[in-house]
Amino acid sequence: MTRTRKPRASAERPLELRLLADMLRIRRMEEKCAELYGAGRIRGFLHLYIGEEACATGAMHALAADDNVVATYREHGHALLRGVGMDAIMAEMFGKAAGCSRGRGGSMHLFDVARRFYGGNAIVGGGLPLAVGLALADRLQGVRRVTLCVFGEGAMAEGAFHESINLAALWQLPVLFCCENNLYAMGTALARSESQTDLCAKAASYRVATFRADGMDVRAVFDTVSRAVRQVREGGGPAFVELQTYRFRAHSMFDPDLYRDKAEIEEWKQRGPIHSLSAQLKAEGRLDEEAFLALDAEAEAEVAAAVAFAEQAPWEPVADLLKDVHTPAGAAAGGTP
C-alpha cells in the first residue's frame, strides 16, 4: 500500500498549488457528475466545463470575497470556487432540497446569494444586463465592488451583449465582462457566428479596456484577470477579458459533437490546463508526483463526500410545489437569505 503524504492545509499553500488543487476539484466533481448522469441520478441538462477549468480558477482567484459573480449554465466550477460547498452543488444537481438553489435550479441555475454568486443562467446572454444592474446598484448604494460577468463567445451575438456593454461603458460601471471563448456555441464555430472574430476588437468598439489571455494557462488567466479587476476596481470603468479556451467534452450530454474535428479536440487536449500546470510545477521543482496524487486524492474525497451527502439528502416535499412563486404576505421584502 502506498502512503500519500498529507497535503498542507489549502490556505497555507502557495498560489500555484491552490490553483492546481481547485482545477482538480472542478475536474473530479464534473467527471463524477457525468457518471451520475449516465446512471440517471442527475437528470435534465448537464454542460461540462472539462478542459476550461483554468478560466474559472484563474478568474475566481483574482476576485475579492465581496465581489459579485454572474455566470452561465456552464457554471459548476465558478460556483465551487466562489465558495459554494460541493455538497450543496451536488445536491442541487440531484434536484434535492439541500441544494444551493433548494432543488429548483438544477445544474444550470446554481445560486448562492450569501456568496454574491448571482447564478448560473440557462438563457444565453441572460446574465449580462443583470450584471450591469448589480454594478449600478452598487454604485447607487455607495459600495465599491467589482461585478464579474462570465459568458461564452456565443453570447456576443445576442443583442443583450451590446445593450449591456454599452450601458456599462456609458455609465462607467465596475463590470468586468469575462468571455470564455471556447470557439464553439453548441455546434456553431466562432467564424460562422461573428462578423468580427477578434472579440477584443469588438468589445473595444464600446470604448472599454480589453485584455486577452491563454485560457488553458491558469497562471496567465489569474494574472490577466487580476490586472483587469484592479483597473475596474480603481474606477477605470468596465473592462472586457477574452479567455481563449476549449471544451474537451460535447456541449451537453445530448450533443453528438459531430461538428468538430477529432484531431482538433486531441490537439487542445495536449494543452489540458491541469496537465500543463502540474508539468510546469514539476519542471520548476515545486511539485512531485506524490504531491500531485495527494491533491487529487483530496479532490476525490471531497467529491465522494458530496455525492454521499446528495444521495441521502431528502427530496423537496410535494407540498412545497407552489412555494416561492410570490413573497408570502408579511415576509420581508428581498426574500430569505
Q: How far is the CB of 123 from other proteins (least distance, A)?
A: 6
Nearer to Mg ion, 185 or 203 (CB): 185
Q: At what angle do helices 218-233 and 15-38 cross, to 10 degrees?
A: 110
**Of residues 112, 153, 217, 302, which one binds ligand TPP by CB under 6 A?**
153
d(CA 213, CA 56): 13
Total residues binding other proteins (CB under 8 A): 36
Nearer to ligand TPP, 170 or 186 (CB): 186
Between residue 67 and residue 106, which ones bind other proteins under the rule CB under 8 A?
Answer: 95, 103-106
Tell me whether strands 68-70 and 147-152 are parallel, antiparallel or unpaired.
Answer: parallel
Q: Give me the phi and psi of 162, to 5 degrees please.
A: -65, -45
Asked if residue 7 binds ligand TPP (CB under 6 A), the reply is no
Q: Which does 74 bind (CB under 5 to 8 A by kind): Mg ion, other proteins, ligand TPP, none?
A: ligand TPP
Asked if residue 51 binds Mg ion (CB under 5 A), the reply is no
Nearer to ligand TPP, 28 or 247 (CB): 247
d(CA 22, CA 49): 13
**Of residues 34, 122, 293, 297, which one binds ligand TPP by CB under 6 A?**
122
Closest CA to 128 of 98, 152, 102, 96: 152
**Of residues 114, 143, 186, 204, which one binds ligand TPP by CB under 6 A?**
186
Q: How far is the CB of 155 from ligand TPP (least distance, A)?
A: 4
- The interface mask with other proteins, positions 113-152, x = CB under 8 A, is ---------xxxx---------------------------
**Of residues 160, 216, 294, 299, which one binds other proteins by CB under 8 A?**
160
Between residue 8 and residue 67, which ones bind ligand TPP under the rule CB under 6 A?
Answer: none
Q: Residue 206 is which amino acid?
A: Y
Distance, CA of 316 to chain centre: 26
**Of residues 152, 215, 237, 272, which one binds Mg ion by CB under 5 A?**
152
Query: How is residue 211 written as a grid cell?
Result: 485584455
Q: How far is the CB of 123 from ligand TPP (least distance, A)?
A: 5
Q: Give me the phi and psi of 27, to 5 degrees please.
A: -60, -50
Q: How far is the CB of 89 from other proteins (least distance, A)?
A: 14
Residue 298 burial (CB count, 10 A): 18
- Please check whether residue 244 is in contact with residue 251, taking contact to mean a CB–CB distance below 8 angstroms: no
Q: Which residue is nearest to ligand TPP (CB)?
A: 152
- Please check whether residue 176 is in contact with residue 225, taking contact to mean a CB–CB distance below 8 angstroms: yes
**Of residues 142, 159, 330, 335, which one binds other proteins by CB under 8 A?**
159
Between residue 314 and residue 333, which ones bind other proteins under the rule CB under 8 A?
Answer: 315-316, 318, 321-322, 325
Q: At what angle do helices 273-283 and 53-61 cross, to 10 degrees?
A: 70
- Please check whether residue 59 is in contact with residue 150, taking contact to mean a CB–CB distance below 8 angstroms: yes
- Please check whether residue 144 is in contact with residue 173, taking contact to mean a CB–CB distance below 8 angstroms: no
* Interface contacts to ligand TPP, rule CB under 6 A: 74, 122-124, 152-155, 182, 184-186, 251
